[in-house]
A and B are shown apart, each in its own frame.
Chain A
Amino acid sequence: MAIGRWGVAAAPSRLRTLLGSCVGIALHDRIAKLGGLAHIVLPDSRGDAANPGKFADTAIPALIEELDRCLQGKSRGRLTARIAGGACMFQTAGASGQALNIGEMNIVAVERILGSLRIPIVARDVGGEAGRRLTFNLATGVVTIRVPGGEDYEI
C-alpha cells in the first residue's frame, strides 16, 4: 500500500506497507475475513479534499465507507483496528518555529478518530525512532511488523 493511499482486500490476501512517521491503520472483520489498510501521512486535512488518503481525518472514514460497501452495510460493530508507525527520526519546525513530532501527531489523531467511531484498537506498535514494515494477514487479522535489522513480530 503506497504512502497516502488505502485499499481493501479479503483472505487469503495480505496487504503490505512501509511506515516511518506515517501511521498504518489495519481494519478487520473476522467474520467476513475482509479488511482494509490506510497509510496516512498527516493528521488533519484542514479541508483539503484533493488527497483523502493522505490525512487521518479523511482516509479513515473513506476506508470504512469502502469496507461497509463490501460488507453490504454491515460493518458497524464488526471492525477492529490494529495500528502501527508514527515514529520520529527528524524533528521538524512548525510555522511558529516550535518543534513538531509528526509521528506523534499522527498517532494521537488516529486514536482519537477511531475512538470517536467506536472502533476498538486491539493492538498497536507505535512511536520510537525506526521505520516499520507492516504485513496485514486478512485471514487472521494479525499484523506482522519488522524493523530494520530485526526479526518479524506479531501484534
Chain B
Amino acid sequence: MTGPPSDALRPEIRLSFEQGAESASRALSNWIDRPVRLTIGEASMVDLVEATGILGDPDTPVTACAMGLSSGRLSGQVILVFRDRSGFALVDYLMRQPIGTTTSWGDLEQSAAQETTNILGCAFLNAMAGHLPADAEAAPNAEDPGRNPDLIPSPPTFFHEFAGSLLEFALADQAMELDKVLVIRSRFTVGEAATERASTPDVELDWTLLFVPSGASLRALVNSFDSTDSQ
C-alpha cells in the first residue's frame, strides 16, 4: 500500500490541526507565563528515509518526552523533542529564573519537561479531535457522535535518544500501514515575537512537537487528503 503524494491537507483537516496548535499555544502560554505560538506549516507524505531525518542529523542525541493519547476519535503518541539547551530554557522559563541557570537533568527538571508535554499534548489533541470532520474520525463516539470524547493520556516518559532512532521507534506503527508517513511541520515562537504586536524578530525555540497517529488514525487522516490534489 502506498500513500498519496506530497500535497495539501483538505482545508477542514488543516483547520483541525490549527485549532490544536491554537489550543496548545494558549495552554503553553499559561503554563510558562509568557506568549507562545505554535504554528502549523506544510503537511506532506514522505518516505521513511526522509522521515528519519526530519529532526536533523540522525546521529544527534536528543532529549524527548513522550506520551500516548487516545481521545476516542484520534489516538497516537505526542512527543516533545528538544536539544538539551532548549530543554533547559524551558525549565528556566518555568522556574522564572535567568535562561542558562539550568544545566543538567535532575528529577525536578525531568518532571517539568514531562508536565509540559502533558499539558501541550492534551491541549493539542483534544482541540484537534474536537474539530475533525466526521469522515476523518478513526472511531467516532457511537452514543453521541457530536460529543467531544474524553481524552485518555498515558503518563509521559522522559528519555535521551539518537534522533534517528527516536523517529524509527515513533514511525514503526505508521510503517506497517503505509510506505510513506505523514509529516506536518510546526514551529514554536516565544516571547513578544509570538504576539500580534511583535516589534522584535521571531524567537524560534528549538523544540519539536511530533504527533504520531496510531494506524487507525493515520488511515483516517490520509483519507482526508484532497483526492483532487493527489492525482
Contacts and interface: CB of A to CB of B under 8 A. Distances in A.
Q: Do A and B bind each other?
A: yes
Interface stretch (B141-149, B173-181, B184-192): B173-181
B161 A131 contact: yes
B228 interface: no
A92 interface: yes
Contact of A148 (B52, B58, B77, B161): B161
Contacts of B170: 90
Interface string A17-52: 011111000000000000000000110000010110
Interface string A105-131: 000000000000000000000000011
The majority secondary structure among interface residues of chain A is loop
A50 B179 CA distance: 9
Interface stretch (A2-10, A57-65, A66-74): A2-10
A18 B160 contact: no
Interface in B49-89: 49, 52, 58-59, 61, 66, 68, 77
Nearest to A18: B164
Nearest to A95: B215
Nearest to B49: A2
B165 interface: yes
A79 interface: no
Contacts of B166: 20, 89, 131
B31 interface: no
B170 to A, nearest CB: 7
Interface in B189-230: 214-215
A92 to B, nearest CB: 4
A19 B160 contact: no
B109 interface: no
A3 B176 contact: no
Interface in B128-181: 159-162, 164-170, 172-173, 175-176, 179
B48 A3 contact: yes
B168 A131 contact: yes
B165 A19 contact: yes
B173 A92 contact: yes
Contacts of B168: 3, 18-22, 41, 131
Q: Which of A42, A93, A149 has the most CB of B within 10 A?
A: A93
B2 interface: yes
Given A18-B58, A41-B172, A131 B162 contact: yes
Given A2-B52, A89-B161, A93-B214, 17 more contacts: A3-B168, A18-B165, A20-B167, A20-B168, A41-B172, A88-B169, A89-B159, A89-B169, A90-B77, A90-B169, A92-B176, A92-B214, A130-B159, A132-B165, A133-B162, A148-B161, A149-B160
Interface of A: 2-5, 18-22, 41-42, 48, 50-51, 54, 87-90, 92-93, 95, 102-103, 130-133, 148-149
7 contacts: A3-B52, A51-B179, A88-B169, A92-B215, A102-B173, A130-B159, A131-B166
